[in-house]
Structure formats: structure tokens, C-alpha cells
Amino acid sequence: MTSQFSFELLAEDGGARQGRITTPRGAIRTPAFMPVGTVATVKALYPEQVKAAGADIVLANTYHLMLRPGAERIARLGGLHSFMRWSGPILTDSGGFQIMSLASLRKVTEEGARFQSHIDGARELLTPERAVEIQCLLGSDIQMQLDECIAHPSSPDEVRRAMELSLRWAERCRRAFAEKGRPGQALFGIVQGGVDPELRRRSAEALTALELPGYAIGGLAVGEGHETMLRVLEATAPRLPRTKPRYLMGVGTPADIIEAVARGCDMFDCVMPTRSGRHGHAFTWNGRVNLRNARHAEDPRPLDPDSACPAARDYSRAYLHHLIKSGELLGAMLLSWVNVWFYQELMTRMREAIAAGRFAAFAQDYRDRLSRQEPGGS
Amino acid sequence: MTSQFSFELLAEDGGARQGRITTPRGAIRTPAFMPVGTVATVKALYPEQVKAAGADIVLANTYHLMLRPGAERIARLGGLHSFMRWSGPILTDSGGFQIMSLASLRKVTEEGARFQSHIDGARELLTPERAVEIQCLLGSDIQMQLDECIAHPSSPDEVRRAMELSLRWAERCRRAFAEKGRPGQALFGIVQGGVDPELRRRSAEALTALELPGYAIGGLAVGEGHETMLRVLEATAPRLPRTKPRYLMGVGTPADIIEAVARGCDMFDCVMPTRSGRHGHAFTWNGRVNLRNARHAEDPRPLDPDSACPAARDYSRAYLHHLIKSGELLGAMLLSWVNVWFYQELMTRMREAIAAGRFAAFAQDYRDRLSRQEPGGS
């Protein structure tokens, strides 16, 4: 244990990096996938299952938690870790993306973002300073600056304006964090700039000058497409300091993650494992399996007899099919478990491959099979 | 292990009985509460949790399983135990109650019950012989005869007609079971007769003459009220053979169960622990707690610090309140766990009290506190 936040680069293999973030609440092995605990719960899983699956860190959402149950309330209850029974590191998203995607009547000014709660319509104002204050109240180990997320596509002027505003907000967040952050906590900046390499470069360089302990790449996986995302990553990641962790926000499929790791990204989060699980989809080393499909109705095989995850190893596809068709909670529980476990296994195998200098071969092997749908599936 | 089904009466204390049912799949300590696994899952719980909570046996529903995924399909997959990963005894309800409460366009004749599936409208016929056949295909350890359940109140003629039809169906089920049942499996008869003590007496005596290995009391907890139910129990239970287990179907609250045990009932099932859990209600030794209530919003205390159930011991009421208010699956998972565990603890304490000859004192102590709502609650 240390009271400092630090990042150690342990191996590089082509563009891929293997490392370790150290926080007072424990280490984060990178590349790392952070299961999403939007409202202080990784949906349909007990915290012990998330830990046992191999996750070092989970993500929670500032936007959701400020609205319900409220940051001050969580602080009075002893902070987010104790509230949700997760003793490891927590990263909190700042709320910018959710304001764009969930809130109504939003209006962004220099001051911050005004919006109406999607829960009860209450009028809210989120400024960069308040975003930091909320994350300090939650007690998150890695905080994100407030940024302005815009829809894709947007006009070049709009993309530039939002990127520049996000930069000014990054500076305000840094000042607020210098005042309110605790030792060992970290504030990450977020690179914006849409799909324009030049804007991304300017954003990355200006943020680098702020000497933050880590950097995120935001505003991707919003509909621009896989190839475009990779092009933006190629233009952005190398502009960020080699010695700081790089977090690609909201990404993605196993194939997306493999490509982003190949391009130098270290941290990821996505609702895909849990959301897909609730919808009846399982991730396996032989591709995605849609348990709704009638072909599983009499299949006595488990999803993966070799998995160490009980949900993948011990339950028949026929039973999973039945649970999903019947709308039973156990179906969502088992498939969310399968998927969160799978994503962690994927990260473990990538870390091992990078450490062994065989990441390119790993990526080639799995690129195709992971994006596969089982024959007859979908 | 034995290949026989047997019931041993270990202690009597007033009307209350403590005993043990032995089946090839394991022993059932009585009084026993059977968690309800309607469609082959005790909702929102992993089978390991149900077992660890102390349940010796679970219940599943013939009606639901015949419609989806189908009894023949479950048989082809190796039977219900392997399908739902429950290796202990399983009791299957025959479907009579669900046909009354769920199916549409139902028509009961001497032959059996015709109805339309509540899932897809398919026309179905359930005869006494088919009900036994289905339960044999499922491989259930304790099968229930097909009976006709009628609404309460019904006319005296209607109650008598349905009771007499159920008796004739019991005989047909017994013949079918003699042919198809396996050693160690048991078929229970079901006493009907509404709230008429004389009809109940005739039903109990006629069923007793069939020398079945156990008897259920059906058609209660359908709106007749607590006191009426107890009066019917008092008129019925003593008419059933002392040496056979008595199963009170679909009951009930902790207070209902205590009173029924005092009147000689040995087995119970009810959706209450799981359904209440999904709706935000927790059973504790200090009464019911409605976690939706705003008073829990900042309460850092667990539901019961002395419980061995992790869900009751390790999570704050504030967090449970947040999960339930947010509609999160983890809320349903935790509260279902709390309640299934609580019901098993209740049965354990009752068995201990009967064995020690202090059941009356136990009942007096808990009668009131268990039906209590926390002050300001509900």
C-alpha cells in the first residue's frame, strides 16, 4: 500500500503496453477493463463476484449518483466504497456523457451544464468545480474532468468549440482538485476533438501540458464506426505521455478492445458485458452466443466447460435459454456473470501476451473468433 | 440414502410435530418450508444460495413447466434436478391451482381440465393421468395429485362437486402413479372442501383410505382470511393420519406458518419470501421492513447484524433502499436472499422449539413480532 497514485509501465510490445497503476486502495493491472457500476452496482452481480472475476477496479457514474441517492448522502454514509461494498479502486465518470445522452433541456455554457434530471425533471447545474466536488464526496480514486460530449456527427466548428471548452474545464477541474482531492486520488483529463486528427492532437497536447496523472480519450464509440475510431486512436494515443495511463472511454466489444490495446490504450469500460447478459447474449472464446435462439433449447452443453466461471461451466445452454425466454432474473444474473468474467479473462490473456512479447499473435488469433457469431446465431 | 420414501415423527409438542422425511435424494427436516421455483428457478437466487440458506427441498410447477420448456424436453435433458441444478428433493405441484389462477378459457370435466396457455394461448388438456406422467417426466420426488381448485367464495354445491371430483382424480392419479412412479418417489393427495368442515372431513377420510404416503391441504390462503383458515385446519389436520406428512399448500406469512405448525402441519410453500423481496420487503426477527420507505435512505445499519445471511448482515439499509428505488436487480437479489434465508431460520427455530418441548412459548414470542411492521414502515 502507498498513499501515492502511480503508473508503472512493465512491458511494451509493438504499440501495446502492460503495466500497473498503484493506488492506496490497491493495484490496477493494465490493460484493465472496468465493469460499469452506473448507480453503485454492477448490474445483476454481487460485488464479491466482480472481484472474483478478476476486476481490480469498477466504474461508477457521477451523473447518476448526484441525482440519486445524491453525493452528499453517500458522503454522510461513509463514501461510495463502503456504500456499494467495493473496497478496491473506483473510477467515476464526470457526467458529461450522461448529460448528453440522458438529460433533457440541457444547455451548456462557459459556466457548466444546466439540465433536467431524467429521473424527476429537477433542474441541475453541473460545473467543473461541482463535478470535482461530487467525485470527492463519493471518494473516487480516479476522477474524470467534466467535459462536453457532443453527438456524432457534429459540424467542425461545433467539435472545435466543445473541445476547447472541455480544455478550459480541464483547467478548472485541476484547480478544484488541487484544493479538494486527497493524496493518492487522481484526476484524469479527457481528450476530445471528434474524428478530426488535428483537433485531437491539439487537445492531447494542451492536456499533456496540465501534467495530469492520466488521460482519457472521450467522444468515441458514439457511432463513428470501428475503423474511424481506430484512426482517431492512432492520431491521439501517441500524443499522450508514454508514462501515463490512457483510458479509452466507453469501449467496447472484445475486438474493439484488442485493437485499442494494440494502439496503446490501457483502460476500458463498457456496459456491454452486463447489458448483453441481460439481453441473453454470452461472450465466449468461440464468439458470441445468443441464448434466445431456439437451437439452444435442448443443448445440454455449458457455454464453456473449461471456464473457471461457474455460470459458464455448470449451467446448460438449454437451461440458460429457458431462463432468458421466461424472463427470469437468474438468466440475467448468470449471463452477466459469464460476460464480466469473460472480459476479465480477455484482459488477463492480453497482459500475459504483452509481457511475453506475443501480443501480435494473440491479437491475430482472437480478432476474428471474438467477433464471430455462432453459426446460426445472432 | 435409501430407495424408499418414509416419514419419521421425531417429536410432538401440543399439536406441533417435528420429523424427517427420507427420500433417495436426501432428508427433509419438518416442519419444512419449500422455496418456490415456479419455472425451475427460485427467483433471483443461485441454487447454491437456496441450499446454503437451509432449504432441504424446493417446489416447482407442473403447469408452468408443461407449457415451457415442456416436460418431455426436460426429460430428454435428464430431468428437472439436473436441469435446474438442484440435487435435493423436489416437490411438483400438479397444476390445478395455476389452471384456476392463470389459464384462460378453462373448462373442467370428469376427464380433466382443458385450458389455454397463458403464454401463447395454446389449447391444453391436463388429465390426472397426464399430470402424473408429467411429474414422472420431470422426475419429481414428491408429486401432487391433480385437483380442481375453485375460487373463494363458491356455492356449497360447487365446493362439494369440486371436492368429489378431486377425490376421483386422486384415485386416477394413484393408479397412474402405481404404473409410472419410481421407487422412492411419492404421490400426495390433496384435501379439498373449501371452508366447510364436514366436506373437509369427508375429503380427508376418503383420501386416507387411499393410503397415500402424504397429504396436502389445498384450497386455503385464497382469500378466506387467517381465522377461517385456522378453523379449517383445526377441522382437517386431525383427520389425516398421524404417521404421514401434512403439507399446507401456498401458505404463507411467518405468522400463518407458526399457527399452522401449531395445528399439525409439516410442510409449506409460498412465493412470499421471493415476491416480497422483489418488491422491496424484508422479513426480519423484528418484523417486516419496507425498504422503499424514505426513512431508510440514510440508515447505515444492516437489516440484521446477527444474521448469518450475508445479504442481511453486510449491506446497509441505505444501500438496499437505493437499489430498490433505482429498480436495480441487485436489490431483488439481496432481499430475496434475505427472505429465503429468514424463512429457513424460522423453520429451524420451530424444529428446535418442538424438539425441546417449548413450541408454545416460541409461538407466543414470535406471533406478534413477526407480523409487526417496523414503526413508520410499509
pLDDT tens-digit profile of B126-149?
999 999 999 999 999 999 999 999
All 3 cell numbers of residue B241?
393420519
Choose the mutation target among A41, A80, A102 for the interface with B, i.e. most B CBs under 10 Å: A41
Q: Assess B39–A contact: CB distance below 8 Å, yes or no.
A: yes
Please report which confidence band the pLDDT of residue A367 belongs to, taking 50, 70 and 90 as the band edges: confident
Query: Does B369 have pLDDT greater than 90?
Result: no
User: Does A269 participate in catalysis according to the annotation?
Assistant: yes
Give residue B175's pLDDT. 98
Stated as kind and residue range, the H or E segment containing B273 is: helix B272-278
Other Cβ atoms less than 10 A from the Cβ of B254: the count is: 24
Q: Which of B73, B319, B326 sits opposite A297 (nearest CB)?
A: B73
Q: What is the ipTM of this complex?
A: 0.97
Cis peptide before A153 (omega within 30 of 0): yes
Mean pLDDT computed over A26-30: 98
Q: Does B300 touch chain A (CB under 8 A)?
A: yes
Residue A56 identity: D
Percentage with pLDDT > 70 across chain A: 97
Q: Could you tell me if A342 lies within 8 Å of chain B, comparing CB atoms? A: no
Cβ pairs A/B, distance under 8 A = 92
Cell numbers that stand for A288 in this block: 458470441
Based on the residue annotation, tell me whether B93 is a catalytic residue of this protein. yes
Contacts for B324 with CB less than 8 Å, ≥ 6 apart: B280, B291, B292, B331, B335
State the Cα–Cα distance between residues A218 and A227, nearest whole angstrom: 16
Strand ordering across the sheet containing B104-108: B104-108, B113-116, B123-126
pLDDT tens track for B9-48: 999 999 999 999 999 999 999 999 999 999 999 999 999 9
Cβ pair B315:A73 closer than 8 A? no
Contacting residues of A for B300, CB less than 8 Å apart: 77-78
Nearest to A374, CA basis, from A257, A296, A271: A296
Calculate the average pLDDT of chain B. Answer: 95
Shortest Cα distance from B126 to chain A (angstroms)?
Answer: 21
Q: What is the pTM of this model?
A: 0.97
pLDDT tens profile B78-133: 999 999 999 999 999 998 899 888 888 899 999 999 999 999 999 999 999 999 99
Average model confidence (pLDDT) across chain A:
95
CA gap B241, B231 in Å, rounded? 19
Model pLDDT for residues B336-367, shown as the tens digit of each residue: 999 999 999 999 999 999 999 999 999 999 87
CB contact under 8 A, B333 and A46: yes
For residue A378, is pLDDT > 70? no
Residues of chain A with pLDDT > 90: what percent? 92
- Residue B3 contacts A where some CB pair is shorter than 8 Å: no
Grid coordinates representing B52 are 446454503
As a whole number of angstroms, the distance between CA A24 and CA B233 comes to: 62
- Has residue A376 got a pLDDT over 50? no
Q: Report whether A325 contacts B68 (CB < 8 A).
A: yes
Residue from B56, B141, B269, B304 carrying the catalytic annotation:
B269
Share of chain B above pLDDT 70, in %: 97
Instruction: Tell me how close the Cα of B80 comes to any Cα of chain A, in angstroms.
Output: 10
> Which of B279, B333, B335, B336 to mutate: most A Cβ within 10 Å?
B333
pLDDT at A134 over 70: yes
- CB nearest B297 (choices: A73, A85, A328): A73
d(CA A25, CA A41): 18
Q: What is the pLDDT of residues B175-215, one digit of tens each?
A: 999 999 999 999 999 999 999 999 999 999 999 999 999 99
Q: Which residue has the cell 490497491?
A: A26
Q: Which residues pair with B32 in a beta bridge?
A: B267
Rounded Cα distance between B331 and B326, Å, is 9
Contact status, residue A18 vs residue A355, Cβ threshold 8 Å: yes
Question: What was the pLDDT predicted at B374?
Answer: 61
* A301 at interface of B, judged by CB pairs closer than 8 A: no
What is the structure's pLDDT at B227? Answer: 94
Q: Is A376 on the interface with B (CB under 8 A)?
A: no
Quote the CA–CA distance of B232 and B238 in Å, as a whole number: 11
Distance CA B280, CA B260 (A): 26
Closest partner CB to A300 (pick from B78, B300, B321): B78
CA distance A271 to chain B (A): 15
pLDDT digits (tens, 9 = 90+) for A325-335: 999 999 999 99
pLDDT at A12 over 60: yes
